[in-house]
Amino acid sequence: MAEANKKENFFVRSGKRIGRWFREMRSELKKVVWPSKSQMINNTLVVLACVLVVGVFIWVFDAVVGLVVNGIITLIKG
């Protein structure tokens, strides 16, 4: 009777949890709506354009701040 109420060991419980996780992951991946090739290309181009715009903005900002800092340094040095 005591054997029937005994808890499963750690490895058995872990194996069952991992198996359940993979089953749930597989069922969730079946629900995913994957983008078409044209949507993927369009989204990639949008991301690249945004990265380019942000990169140019940071570059310009860095150049302006560098000029300001150099100007302050030259004013302090005299």
Is there a contact between 35 and 43 (Cβ–Cβ < 8 Å)?
Answer: yes
**Joined tokens for residue 44:** 């990639």
pTM of the full predicted structure? 0.58
Q: pLDDT by residue for the chain (78 residues), tens digit each?
A: 455 567 788 888 888 999 999 999 999 999 999 999 999 999 999 999 999 999 999 999 999 999 999 999 999 987
**Which residues lie below 8 Å from residue 8, measured CB to CB, with a gap of 6+?**
16
